[in-house]
Structure 1
Amino acid sequence: MTTTCNLPDTQNNADTRQIVIDKVGIKDISHPIIYIDRDGNKNPTVGNFTMTVTLPKQVKGTHMSRFIEILNAGPCEFNVGNFGRIIDKVHAKLDTDRVHVAVDFPFFRNKKAPSSGVESLMDYQVTLYGVLSEGKTEVMVKVVVPVTSLCPCSKSISKYGAHNQRSHITIKARIAEGKSLHIEDLIDLAEEKASCELYAILKREDEKVVTERAYDNPAFVEDLVRDIAVGLNVNDNIDYYRLESENFESIHNHSAYAVIENEKC
């Protein structure tokens, strides 16, 4: 009978082509996670992971199963501040100098409608990125925040209202060394600067409130990114960000789009 110790470990063989592989590992693996929010609450959701390492030129292959073992080694529980622990585990288990780990997941917040107070869950798409290189770990977070924007030009020239659209604010931020950041901080900033935030459930009285709120707070796509950038610029927990707004126009067959990128350090 063949035992494990008698089986060849082919990926540990030497490779003669002398070519470094920048990233090799697993992609698109779903795994249950627990995300710890700003208030310390544990939020179960499902993450989609990509986990890779750099493969030295003399090594034939990496150990693919070890990535899965890391995810299955216990509760996959983290927040932005301690996401680096997963990178450290990959580094230790695969004995490599460079690690990349990314996970996408839906993050849910309970929101109350502005007038009726009815509660509903609002979802936001989040991505965490972790990189270990030359002994240093960096973590970045990306969140997509859907909001309402109302056109200031349309408001100024129209008798009976103004056209508005749903917009996606995308904030990708790198955490400054020794600092931490909460997803909710980025969501709050984006929703605060929009013409109006979105809700999953609205009663008639709520529809009146959000419609009038958007009308009272018109914003071009340029206004959205500039106003949010002001908040990101004074946030000492962030040393780099890329900020995008895509407004899905309601009277055009195209989107309005704006980007601000700032390497703060």
Structure 2
Amino acid sequence: MKTCVKFLPDVAKETSDKYRMLEKVGIKGVAVYRRDFNSENVLTSQSAYVSLLHSKGIHMSRLVKTLVVDYANSIIQPEDGLLYSLADGHDVRNAYWECQWESMHVIDDVQSVKIKCNLEGRQNDDTIEWFLTTVIPYTSICPCSADMTKEFGGIPHMQRAEAVVTGQLTSDCEMSTLIPTFVYDVLDAVKVYPIPYMKRNDELAWCQNADKYNYFVEDAARLVGGIADRWFSDWVIACEHFETIHQHNVVGVCRKDGGRLR
């Protein structure tokens, strides 16, 4: 029986020893709506990769389908099944997935703080690992300028700052509990953080509170490291203070004793 259907060759599956192994091949920056730890819809930027042995290429559309069809609009969580789906679609045993987004951490009925989040999953044969990175804003007054101005007058300079924390997760962790509680603990440790909305009385109270907590970036890194140690089996943090009287910033890095994250 004659037919007008033409079966196109699957060029990607062509194999040869001349094709050098590629550690990662995949897609980057796929925009997908998912739900965050507040159950709010957020626009994520996702990437997915698999390893490539001796095949000519992979089927990129299979990776896209997993992200935009199979897991769209679901809550952002460590999902071992997602990694298996990426790998199984190409008959490999290695896969990598990354999801970036921004969420609002609610402080009270009026105020929220914007945080950046990044969830990574890595499959290597039967081993799966998950890592969460959060970028948490805070504020610091330089202790040197605070001491000098108290003695000689003037106004101490204040710095916006952020703590970038990467911690290793378990596959069964609940992001809806972990992220808001961890962020709360970090903000409670640093004591001073940016507030989107202020009236005059609020601003005065904020400045009076800030005057009590002056610390260098080294102090901040140790404070946040102490919080991370209670939440993650392995972790690394980098605190950065955005200097107001210099053209450079200052950074302090702290990691778990004996940890492998850098």
TM-score range, shorter chain: 0.7 to 0.9
Match of 1:66 among 62, 65, 87: 62
- Distance (Å, rounded) in 2 between the aligned partners of 1:111 and 1:185: 11
Matched, 1:28 2:29: yes
Tell me the secondary structure at the aligned position of residue 67 of structure 1: helix
Contact 1:107 1:123 in 2 (8 A): yes
1:22-70 deviation digits (Å, cap 9, x = unpaired): 00010111111112x2xxx4110011111000011x2111110001111
Offset of 1:178 from its aligned partner? 5.8
For the Cα contact (< 8 Å) 1:34–1:76, is it kept in 2? yes
2:239 matched to which residue of 1?
245
- Name the one with the larger strand percent: 1
Residues 244 and 196 of structure 1, relative CA distance in 2, 3 Å threshold: same
Match of 1:128 in 2: 119
The whole-number CA distance in structure 2 between the counterparts of 1:42 and 1:65 is 28
Q: Which amino acid aligns with 1:260?
A: C
Change (3 A) 1:211 1:205: same
Alignment of 1:21-60 (within 5 A): 21-35=22-36, 37=37, 41-56=38-53, 58-60=54-56
Give, in angstroms, the shift of residue 243 of structure 1: 0.4
Contact 2:45 2:99 in 1 (8 A): yes
For the residues of structure 1 that align with 2:240 and 2:87, how far apart are their CA atoms?
Answer: 37
The SS at the match of 2:18 is coil
Q: Distance in 2 between matches of 1:166 and 1:83?
A: 35
8 Å CA contact 1:138, 1:174 repeated in 2: yes
Aligned to 2:32, the other structure's residue is in SS state strand
Q: How does 1:101-120 map to 2 (within 5 A)?
A: 101-112=97-108, 119-120=110-111
Deviations 1:192-220 (A, max 9, x none): 22250222212222111211111111111
| Number of corresponding residues | 251
Give 3-state SS (helix, strand or coil) of 1:73's partner: helix
CA contact (8 A) 1:174 1:239 kept: yes
Structure 1 residue 121: Cα displacement: 4.0
Q: Which deviates the most, 10-19 or 138-147?
A: 10-19
The corresponding residue for 1:3 is 5
Equivalent residue number for residue 209 of structure 1: 205
The Cα offsets for residues 214-249 of structure 1, whole Å up to 9 and x where unpaired, read as 1111111011010111122233xx121110111011
Q: Distance in 2 between matches of 1:210 and 1:87?
A: 45
For 1:227 and 1:128, how far apart are their aligned partners in 2? 23
**In 1, distance between residues paired with 2:39 and 2:225?**
30
Q: Sort the Cα spacing of 1:136 and 1:76 in 2 relative to 1 into closer, same or farther, 3 A.
A: farther
Q: Does the CA contact (< 8 Å) of 1:143 and 1:186 recur in 2?
A: no
What is the letter of the counterpart of residue 173 of structure 1? G
Gaps of 5+ in 2: none
> Normalised by the size of structure 2, how large is the TM-score?
0.88
Of the three residues 177, 180, 187, the one matched with 1:184 is 180
- 2:13 aligns with 12
Q: CA deviation at 1:110?
A: 3.0
Q: Which amino acid aligns with 1:257?
A: V
One-letter identity of the residue aligned with 1:136: T
Query: SS where residue 246 of structure 1 aligns?
Result: strand
C-alpha separation in 2, matches of 1:124 and 1:234: 20
